[in-house]
Amino acid sequence: MDESLKLQIIFNEDTENKNQKFFFQYLWKKHFAELKKVIIYAILFLALGFLPLEFLNLGPVANIFKYGGVLFSGYIFLILYYYFRSKNKTFKLVEEQIDDLRKMKDKISFITLHQDSITFKNPLITINCIWDKTTYKIIDRYLIVNILNNKISFILTESEFKENEYNILLDFLQQYSKKEK
């Protein structure tokens, strides 16, 4: 099969916003798991360092727990700072891109499927990638296609495609790329 198959993606601002918000939360999910652990450690260290626990009688070791608790607390604030900073920056960039797409006359995007590569094309960019550097993952109703060894991600839903084109894309992905776990 040397010919290519072109799938049209219907641009919708609301769908694009939802896709990007989902992807942001998906990426930060592992950081929140880490945050939970750090909060538990901070509480434990602060309790061991500052509470007068007569039965433990830690003596000078309590100072180590005090400093450790303060360090863990600082790490909590650092994670939260980066979360809110990246959230604001990401959503600002998403809005800028949606505004740029809104200004374009031609708002049609395409995914072109070849036997040896996949191409994403919208009015702003065109990116081509071989299947060996392409992976995909399905989470809830979202299809995440990662290209260039997970450097660029495209978030798609079935509602963005016409008729059976979403299933065609899934078939190609299953046949030529790797599914992430």
**Residues 6 or more apart from 48 whose CB is under 8 A from it?**
56, 58, 62, 65, 69
* Domain end (from 59, 82, 103): 103
The answer on 87 and 21 residing in a single domain is yes
Q: What is the structure's pLDDT at 143?
A: 95
Over residues 149-176, mean pLDDT: 92
Q: What is the structure's pLDDT at 55?
A: 64
The answer on 98 and 19 residing in a single domain is yes
- Domain extent, residue 19, equals 13-103
* Domain end (from 77, 103, 129): 103
Please give the residue that has the higher pLDDT: either 102 or 18. 18
The answer on 86 and 69 residing in a single domain is yes
Structure-block tokens of residue 62: 């309590």
The answer on 96 and 69 residing in a single domain is yes
The answer on 160 and 92 residing in a single domain is no
What letters, b where the CB count within 10 A reaches 16 and e where it falls short, cover 59-85? eeebeebeebbeebbebeeebeeeeee
Q: Looking at the chain, which runs of residues are DSSP E strands?
A: 5-9, 109-113, 117-121, 126-130, 135-139, 142-147, 152-156, 178-179
Q: Is the pLDDT of residue 2 over 70?
A: no
The answer on 133 and 65 residing in a single domain is no
Q: What is the structure's pLDDT at 60?
A: 79
Residues 135 and 153: their CA atoms lie apart, in Å, by: 9
> What are the tens digits of pLDDT across the range 96-151?
988 888 888 777 889 999 999 999 998 889 999 999 999 999 999 999 999 998 88
User: How many structural domains comprise the chain?
Assistant: 2
* Domain end (from 81, 103, 125): 103
CATH code, 144: 2.30.29
